[in-house]
Amino acid sequence: MCLNNNDISPNPSHFEDSEETIAAPAHRDVAWNDYKDLIKGMRFFDPHIHMVSRTTDDYQAMHQAGIVALIEPAFWVGQPRTGLSSFKDYYSSLVGWERFRSSQFGIKHYCTMGLNSREANNEPLAEQVMEILPLYIYKEGVVGVGEIGFDDQTPAEEKYYRLQLELAKSAKLPVQIHTPHRDKKKGTERSMAIALEHGIDPSWVIVDHNNEETVKSVLDKGFWAAFTIYPFTKMGNERMVKVVEQYGPERIMVNSAADWGISDPLAIPKTAALMKMRGISDETIRLVTYQNAIDAFSKSGQIDVTDFESGYAIDHSEKFHGNSILRGGQQPSPAKDSLVIN
């Protein structure tokens, strides 16, 4: 089990980064009322967010801010798993309970399935996980194999990364690559080289958690470049605006990767608002906060934009269950500012 990293980490979340970045947070407070008009009518697609760690308040705020669909990649959940059943239940929750929970808030939920790099280091368990993974990757709404790749860049991580690339190939699914926090540049290059070595078309691969140092090479090689807007430890959205100004919108997408750490499920709407303020065109904003993610993950054949493009209503999902009387149970919106609870 890969725990060495936790000993030195001030914040054992999805994203640790160098102290240098922590010392210079590229982040500032923006109140909903300050930016809601800037993004009025915009729709957003968050291609990387771990809703399993988020609250119903987050879901309501996301829906209000215009997020109509999201992708929840399978990852590690902070507490190392000790048995296959924990993996099984986690994978099932991504396509079961979490998907249902999301639908109650009017947000279409997709996921990617994979064995994360950290837990790939627990080889006896990783072997068992690989055996059941095929049962999950073919499920409805699974739009890729992910998030996979390197963490410590150990031989075990490489072994299971390669095995899962082959799995993605045979299932005809896109690949969502998690790039390492430490030694990122080399790790990113290595991840891409191995994908190419396995004969995977780079237009089927989303390289995630890019920064100014990695983006050029990723785009030059024909991969999709995803950027995670994550306070303190990752990209700030002001830096993101500069990246888009420099590289344009092609094959670039923004995500929040919000999880149990100090992260922001509204990272995409906020970034869109900031782009709007800085004079970036509506079309460019639409591409990097919505369309590009859809184009990349639609290769799975699992995304039907009519499910969410004009707002995802519970009635729509119901039609495939064949009974318009029955409610899957959309959550009512309580009045948050009211002292009286009914």
Partner 1 sequence: MSDIIKQNLWDIIILNTSGPEAEWLQDRAASSPMDLMTAFVAAPRFLSKKIISVNPDQQFTLNAEIPGFSVEGWSLVRLARVWLLTQLDPSDKEDYVKNIETLFDTAEMNELVALYSALPVLSYPDQWLFRATDAVRSNMGFVFDAIALHNPYPEKHFSELAWNQLVLKTIFNDKPINFIEGLDNRANEKLAITLSDFAHERWAAGRSVPAQVWRLAGKFMNPTLLADMQHLFDSENVDDQKAAALACNDSSLAPANYLLAKYIDLEKSVKSGTLTWADLEH
329 binds partner 1 (CB under 8 A): yes
| Binding test (CB under 8 A) with partner 1, winner from 29, 140, 220, 337 | 140
CB 47 within 8 A of CB 226: yes
- To which H or E segment does residue 269 belong? helix 267-277
Residue 77 vs residues 22, 31, 80: alpha-carbon distances, Å? 22, 30, 7
CB neighbourhood size of 100 (10 A): 14
332 binds partner 1 (CB under 8 A): no
Q: How far apart are CA 335 and CA 342, in angstroms?
A: 10
DSSP string covering 210-256: --TTTHHHHHHTT-EEEEEB-TTTSB-HHHHHHHHHHH-STTEEEE-
Residues pairing with 235 in the sheet: 229
Nearer to partner 1, 321 or 336 (CB): 321
Name the one range near partner 1 by CB under 8 A: 89-97, 195-203, 220-228, 288-296: 89-97
Q: How far is the CB of 327 from partner 1 (least distance, A)?
A: 6
Name the one range near partner 1 by CB under 8 A: 45-53, 195-203, 268-276, 320-328: 320-328
316 binds partner 1 (CB under 8 A): no
Token pair belonging to 281: 């065109």
| Binding test (CB under 8 A) with partner 1, winner from 7, 19, 23, 321 | 321
Name the one range near partner 1 by CB under 8 A: 70-78, 216-224, 241-249, 299-307: 299-307
Q: Which of residues 173-212 bind partner 1 (CB under 8 A)?
A: none
**Residue ranges in contact with partner 1 by CB under 8 A:** 88, 91-92, 95-97, 99-100, 132, 134-136, 138-141, 301-302, 304, 319-323, 325-329
